[in-house]
Structure 1
Amino acid sequence: MDKRNSKLRWVIFASVLFTYLVMASQRTAPGLITDQLMTDFSITASMVGLITSIQFFVYTGLQVPMGILADRYGPHFFLIIGAALTGIGTIIYSLSAHEFVLFFARILTGIGDATIWVNMVLVLAQWFNKKEFTRLIGFAGMTGSLGFLMATVPFSGLIVFLGWRGAFLSAGVCLCLCSIFLYFILVQKSKQTIIVKNKGQNEKTWFLLRRIFSNRQAWALFFCHFGLVGGYIGFIGSWAVPYLMDVHGMTRLDASQLIMISLIGALMGAPLIGWVSSYLNAIKRPYILFHIIVLLCWSTFLLFTEPPPLIVIYLLFFIIGFGFGANSLTFAVVRLTFPLKESGIVTGFANTGGFLSAVLLPFIFGMILDNFQTVSGSLSGGYYYGFITPVIFALLGLIGVMSIKEKEQGTGYKAQE
């Protein structure tokens, strides 16, 4: 089958993105029921935080191993199994009767979730040419942001209608059905074997890792993803609502609605930036531009010794979200500058940078707030110093993207060692 001229590729594109949409929503959906978990299971806030965050630790730790496995055996098997594991973990979560079962369920969900991005990128790379891939990877990034958006008002409504157990049970069953459908189209319909040994991958894993980890281009991609993803996911997903409540006196509902402005920016930015990059037949220049814009936005928070006007906050949150949409260009660079047989491990390595920063930023930001509260007894002023963290992260991202080597060769690019 000629994959890149087959009509089936659009069915695959839609089904893989829908699966990613549902899986992405389950990354942050547990945050909607924090108070209910504390009541139902009689557990502390710190325990709930541990249960919620364990998925991100598992996800981050498995990115490079998943890239190695995907390169060696092909992405189909892991994409199908990942959707099933996430679904089963979500079902177990909905049926849990003890906090340790909740913890196990989130670990299982994290293992499944760790498969989706690396293998989705490889599947799209196999079915679409390089120019199409650069445009479509933006839509893939938009799908992740749409999943985060689903985990706000829509999933809250489902929780109200079905109860939190019914809502998570429904999401888990949906993912299991997605796994079955992916098997049908990726294996049965396209006549592919479920595990394909990559005959070109004869290199021992240790030597492959050493070569990738010593590659300047790989580290540039690691840091450009580190700088863009951590500030957005790390801050928006942890300290944005408390910041708006403590500093600007907003209610929780008003603060959550403002967060949606940032999500809308990300939804708009991802496909538009991908289209612009494809139209210009260039990645590095637009990527540098959006890194600079995001760095300036985070730096703006440090220009105000008093709380910034709300109109400024709305504008900054929207632009930061819009700039976050550019993160999909990281994987467009991977696709265009590394051999397809190594795309999985490099994708996993770059994605590790993004989610490592998303794990580190809330922790560092919280340490700064705790220290400030110890000194002055108030959190409000501590946020000012806390914003130094995303500024430093964004600066590292800018250094990373400026270090990318891009050499045009027709419609493609060649990495420089």
Structure 2
Amino acid sequence: MDKQNSKFRWMVFASVLFTYFLMASQRTAPGLITDQVMSDFNVTAATIGLLTSIQFFVYTGLQIPMGILADRYGPNFFLIIGAVLTGLGTIIYSLGTHEFVLFFARILTGTGDATIWVNMVLILGQWFKVKEFVRLIGLAGMTGSLGFLLATVPFSSLIDLIGWRSAFFSAGLLLCLCGILLYFVLIKKPTQHFLNEKVSLPNEIDREKTVVLLRRIFSDRQAWSLFFCHFGVVGAYVGFIGSWAVPYGMDVYGMTRSEVSELIMIGLIGALIGSPLTSWISSKLGTIKRPYVVVHITILLGWSTFLLYNGNPPKYMLIMLFFIIGFGYGASALTFALVRQSFPLSESGVVSGLANTGGFLSAVLLPSIFGIILEQYQTASGSSGNGYYYGFITPVIFSMIGLIGILFIKERYLQKKQIMR
């Protein structure tokens, strides 16, 4: 039986995406309990920023190596191990009694999380034909935003109901069970039903050529433009939502945790709309760069508005800003559309890893920088209000870097280059 024509492929699709859905939720879920962790463990704002950053740091550092490993040894094993590691990290986080345990837990979670995207793409490429794959990869991208959405009102309500430790323990246990499910779906059942079929991964990177390929990519100005483009549009949003959005809403506006979760959810709705809408606009206009430039300018204006209102814009405007910034994050899928347009398929995996590294590097940097600024002004004045104002300078600078990156994209040259190929 052919894998790509079997009904079983839909079981693979559902299992992999459900796992991604849960794993994505654990990227930002700790941001819901920032104040509680600071109180329970008696840690500073800078420590919380570092705690948030460590997961993204591990995720970022493993993107390119994970792509190379998955190409060489296959994606199934790494995805299963990733789900289990994320689950174990979340469970340990829920049982932690010291800040060092929390750091270890987030390192495990980041390691597991780093496996999901590259391996998920390769697995779907094995089980689905090209036309199906193009349609389904869009749904896969939206699944990540749905995971972030889970880590807002639903997970916040669960925390209020059973406590943060029980909520995170339950999520970790469910992820470990997903790892077991993936073993049966990706390895055991296919071995029984597709004994005579050997699936070869397209675009495998030859071991002898890996160093040469990396050297060429890292010396390509276009690749670095994509890196900085993604740096500016992803990390400011993910880093802020995953660390300081809840304390900001509670400290500056006197909101409850549930109310801030609703605000974050508005941003995630913007992300869900932004991905398909900007892709559709780009296809209609026949250009990726121009609408993406508009997105970057809009994001820059959005973050700058926080500075314009001294870190405290009116609530109605705050809702609009969260939606706009979330919309821009959803539009970040255009980065990978540019990768596919710019580079041959044999190089697009590594370039995608480099671009994704840029996005999450900014997610690593922002929570720590924001936390250090917040702690400095809180120490000086006893109030964190001014700290938030100066903290918003960081996403503004990141957005400027992203705008410079997209402006340096050479789309005309790439279109000619693509036609020649």
Kept after mapping to 2: 8 A contact 1:82/1:112: yes
Kept after mapping to 2: 8 A contact 1:331/1:347: yes
The more displaced of 51-60 and 20-29 is: 51-60
| Alpha-carbon shift at residue 116 of structure 1 (Å) | 0.8
Structure 1: distance between partners of 2:342 and 2:78: 24
Kept after mapping to 1: 8 A contact 2:52/2:242: no
Deviations 1:319-342 (A, max 9, x none): 111121011222233344434443
Counterpart for residue 152 of structure 2: 152
Identity %: 69
Within 5 Å, give how 1:72-111 maps onto structure 2: 72-96=72-96, 99-111=99-111
Residue 135 to residue 394, structure 1, CA distance change in 2 (3 Å) = farther
Counterpart for residue 288 of structure 2: 283
Structure 1: distance between partners of 2:408 and 2:2: 36
| Alpha-carbon shift at residue 403 of structure 1 (Å) | 2.7
| Alpha-carbon shift at residue 227 of structure 1 (Å) | 0.5
The residue type equivalent to 1:365 in the other structure is F
What SS is found at the alignment partner of 1:308?
coil
| Alpha-carbon shift at residue 283 of structure 1 (Å) | 2.9
Within 5 Å, give how 1:3-18 maps onto structure 2: 8-18=8-18
Counterpart for residue 343 of structure 1: 348
Kept after mapping to 2: 8 A contact 1:61/1:352: yes
> Aligned to 1:217, which of 188, 198, 222?
222
Deviations 1:98-135 (A, max 9, x none): 55444333222211111112222333455557776565
Within 5 Å, give how 1:5-404 maps onto structure 2: 8-34=8-34, 42-45=41-44, 50-96=50-96, 99-125=99-125, 136-187=136-187, 188-189=189-190, 191=194, 201-278=206-283, 282-304=287-309, 307-370=312-375, 372=377, 378-404=383-409
Residue 221 to residue 71, structure 1, CA distance change in 2 (3 Å) = farther
| Alpha-carbon shift at residue 390 of structure 1 (Å) | 1.7
Q: Give me the TM-score of the superposition, normalised by structure 1.
A: 0.83
Structure 2: distance between partners of 1:122 and 1:374: 49
| Alpha-carbon shift at residue 229 of structure 1 (Å) | 0.6
Residue 80 to residue 398, structure 1, CA distance change in 2 (3 Å) = same
The more displaced of 210-219 and 72-81 is: 72-81
What SS is found at the alignment partner of 1:404?
coil
Aligned length: 415
Structure 2: distance between partners of 1:305 and 1:416: 52
Residue 351 to residue 276, structure 1, CA distance change in 2 (3 Å) = same
Structure 2: distance between partners of 1:416 and 1:389: 41
C-alpha RMSD over aligned residues: 3.7
Structure 2: distance between partners of 1:134 and 1:287: 20
| Alpha-carbon shift at residue 176 of structure 1 (Å) | 2.7
The residue type equivalent to 1:229 in the other structure is V
Structure 2: distance between partners of 1:170 and 1:129: 36
Kept after mapping to 1: 8 A contact 2:250/2:257: yes
Kept after mapping to 2: 8 A contact 1:139/1:271: no
Kept after mapping to 2: 8 A contact 1:369/1:383: yes
| Alpha-carbon shift at residue 19 of structure 1 (Å) | 0.9
Structure 2: distance between partners of 1:133 and 1:197: 13
Kept after mapping to 2: 8 A contact 1:225/1:397: yes
Residue 284 to residue 163, structure 1, CA distance change in 2 (3 Å) = same
Counterpart for residue 418 of structure 2: 414
The residue type equivalent to 1:44 in the other structure is V
What SS is found at the alignment partner of 2:243?
coil
Gaps of 5+ in 2: none
Structure 1: distance between partners of 2:417 and 2:124: 18
| Alpha-carbon shift at residue 352 of structure 1 (Å) | 1.0
